Chain A
Amino acid sequence: MEVTTWVTKHVGGDGSGSKVFTEAFAPGETVRDVLRRCSARFPELDAALWSPDRAELGEHIEVVVNDAVLGVTHGLDSPLKNGDRITLLGQFMGG
């Protein structure tokens, strides 16, 4: 799992570059399950990643699975397989 740009501030980084974690998961676990477990370890990430009611993703962090944005090959409730890569990409404006 790769956390990039300003989102790294929420996982102990300096707001630039990226931080990479390896997350173990059980068979059948989904993108949502892994994100929940990861964000539970980092309260600031938890607040930033999810909507206020915590049911869905919030506005400002894009989730990319295997180089494709959510909705292309994976949804939040798609199961993961070994070697899948989740990237958390901070929203930015401009350009």
Chain B
Amino acid sequence: MSPTATASRPAKKPAAPPASVPGYAGKLLRVNLSTGKIWTQPWTGDMREYLGGVGLGAKILYEEVGPKVHWDHPDNRLILATGPLAGLPVWGTGGLTVVTRGAQTDGATSTQANGFFGAALKYSGYDAIVVQGQAKKLSYLYINDDVVEIRDAAHLKGKDTWETQEALEAEHALSGHRMSVYSIGPAGENLVRFAAIQGDYGHVASKNGCGAVMGKKKLKAVCIVRGTKALSPHDPRGLVQAADDIAHDLKTDPATSTLYRWGTLPGVSNLYKLGVLPIKNYTTNLTAVDMTTWEPAKLRAGFDHRGHQCNACGMHHCHIQVIGKGPKAGELVDEPEYEGWSGAGWQIGLTDKESITWLNTRLDRACLDVNEFGWVCGWVMECMEKGYLTEKQVGFTLAWGDVDGAYRLIRMISHREGFGDLLAEGVKRASEKIGGEAAKCAVYTKKGASPRGHDHRGRWEEMLDTCTSSNGTMESANATHQTEIGLPGRINPFNGEEVARMVGGILGRKHFEDSLGGCIFTFRTRIEHLARALSAATGWTYTLADAMRLGRRTAAIFRAFNLRCGIGTDVEYPSPRYGSKPVDGPAKDHNVMDQWERMREVWYETVGYDIKTGKPTRETLKTLGLDRLAKDLWRK
């Protein structure tokens, strides 16, 4: 049966939810760490509209986390969700989406990682894990099909994330892909506000301090034995056809063929040419380094490497490599993503490739977000160079490109030692506390979310997205095949109105992708292909228009959640340095703040939100089928 012949869309109010839906496990795993209670909740009723992943997570967050339940409150939820394509034969479908109230913005968070977690979870019989409460002592969650236990993790205390996974693999005599482990390192245990959750050696759900939430719950790790329960798509042949089309698209489309071949490595040399590679904390966009040595083939060939693919993935993206020379020679490390090369490298003035790849893995092992660490470390380096911070304050001298000093900072932050205790709050809070000239050097959003690892002064769409988003990071993300939804293939990157129309116009696409249980990179295909795969998996027919509408629903729910938490329009601005004018390079003299208010106006108009209150309008909510939210937001 072809995808177009699948069951028609059900009536608005079906008489009763189906007993089971193909592609789904049909159960949520609930864990209360305060009481030790573990139970399952059937989930068959509303997945047609919430899909899974971030869509499901946003719903649970909105319904179960009230405004007084801050990120560190035991009643905060940590939702580890996957989606209907996870575990099915579509590339990169081991996806995990973490949804919670995060530590940096104290607002909604969605952040993704890959590996095998999502597939293992589905094969164990669950679509998501919802963790609430707070354990009395450090614990880990063990899942082996129907056996789910909260176990003592005292022996894992202080271990980094790779050590934790190794210890659990040894304990259970399972290695390779037979068990997926996502854990926190010392930074999470010590509630560093930009602590991440790391898993399967190199995959990181990094945004908005989700690792601090896990640390506050005293949950060291979640380990899932690859389950034994079968998944049955509604239309296996249609699913394989869609999966083949996705793979073909990734291999051959001009926009994605480099991603297929090199992952995100091309970012360094390409973004440099556009003035988008952050260098030394936004103080310059130029370097004397020979950038031809940073082309992807040379970056990869510089290390002894092998593929480290995620579940069902055929991309040449993730790699594990060995450092071949220098003081760290012989160490096994994860090949950095573009953001590793930027955050653990260029942003802090470090251009030695062996040092960067080592530092990047140290960050993963400590469970620190590489982006925020880059902004913190680069800020300290610049402030020390300019005399705004002293050796006495910091505890030692930290200069640009000092890899050993940067690692010392990682340890100080992860253990909240000395000046590291302040830095563990993130660069926004740390710079506000120090004040004076130092405060003017910090790169952050007023909302508290970390900018990604780019110089957004040359990429205004990402700055606008980071500042207006409601999920603790970029919410629209990069335009992908945007002509598919009627948007122009090319815009002037320094025309604020064009930028805002693009950012607002693509809102929803990424939330749709992140609801399916796959990878942001393998899902850089046409929405039409993803919708076909989803239709074949579930038996419901999804169109491109459905995909955008469902993604926008999730965005509106996050927006409503944040407004309820008191996060309003007054914080939709970059810090002075983040929104400054580049002094050199390809974006020299282009001042985003000259057009900022107009950009916001156009963005609000495009997404259908009210600029004064920040609320999605009644009409928007009605179109999205969120009448209940309209009652919450617009009641007198």
Contact = CB atoms under 8 A, between A and B. Distances in A.
Interface of A: 4-6, 15-18, 48, 51, 56-62, 64, 67-72, 87, 89-95
Given A5-B258, A16-B297, A91-B255, A69 B493 contact: yes
Contacts of B483: 59
A61 B258 CA distance: 13
B614 interface: no
B211 to A, nearest CB: 22
A8 B524 CA distance: 23
Contacts of B259: 92-94
Contacts of B489: 51, 58-59
A77 to B, nearest CB: 14
B270 interface: yes
Given A67-B585, A91-B254, 10 more contacts: A4-B269, A15-B261, A51-B489, A60-B254, A72-B587, A92-B259, A93-B259, A94-B264, A94-B521, A95-B339
B454 A89 contact: no
A93 B524 CA distance: 8
B263 interface: yes
Given A58-B489, A94-B338, A6 B296 contact: no
Contacts of B267: 92, 94-95
B279 to A, nearest CB: 14
A71 to B, nearest CB: 4
A62 B274 contact: yes
A60 B258 CA distance: 12
Given A67-B273, A71-B495, A6 B257 contact: yes
B55 interface: no
8 contacts: A57-B490, A64-B274, A72-B494, A91-B254, A92-B255, A92-B270, A93-B258, A95-B454
Contacts of B478: 93
B443 to A, nearest CB: 17
A89 B269 CA distance: 10
A3 B256 CA distance: 18
A93 B255 contact: yes
A56 B492 CA distance: 13
B314 interface: no
Nearest to B254: A60
B488 to A, nearest CB: 9
Interface string B239-268: 000000000000000111111010110110
Contact of A93 (B342, B480, B492): B480
Contacts of B160: none
A62 B489 CA distance: 11
Nearest to A63: B490
B586 A48 contact: no
Given A5-B258, A48-B254, A72-B590, A18 B274 contact: no
B577 to A, nearest CB: 21
Task: In the A-B complex, list the 5 residue pairs whose CB atoms are closest, starting with the nearest.
Answer: A95-B338, A59-B489, A94-B264, A95-B267, A60-B254
Contacts of B452: 95
B235 interface: no
A89 B441 CA distance: 31
Q: Name which of B256, B263, B480, B483 has the most chain A CB atoms within 10 A of its CB.
A: B256
Nearest to B285: A67
Contacts of B524: 93-94
A42 to B, nearest CB: 15
A62 B292 CA distance: 18
Contacts of B493: 69, 71
A6 B586 contact: no
A69 B274 contact: yes
B185 interface: no
A60 B259 CA distance: 13
A83 B493 CA distance: 25
B345 interface: no
B337 interface: yes
Nearest to B341: A95
B231 interface: no
Nearest to B482: A59
Contacts of A48: 254
A16 B254 contact: no
B145 interface: no
B295 interface: yes
Contacts of B261: 15
A91 B258 CA distance: 9
Q: Name which of A57, A64, A71 has the most chain B CB atoms within 10 A of its CB.
A: A71
Interface string B568-598: 0000000000000000011110100000000
A48 B296 CA distance: 22
B495 A64 contact: no
A80 B562 CA distance: 50
Nearest to B458: A69
A67 B296 CA distance: 20
B501 to A, nearest CB: 15
B271 interface: yes
B490 A89 contact: no
A10 to B, nearest CB: 10
Given A58-B489, A59-B490, A69-B493, A93 B273 contact: no
B365 to A, nearest CB: 21
Contacts of A18: 292
A35 to B, nearest CB: 14
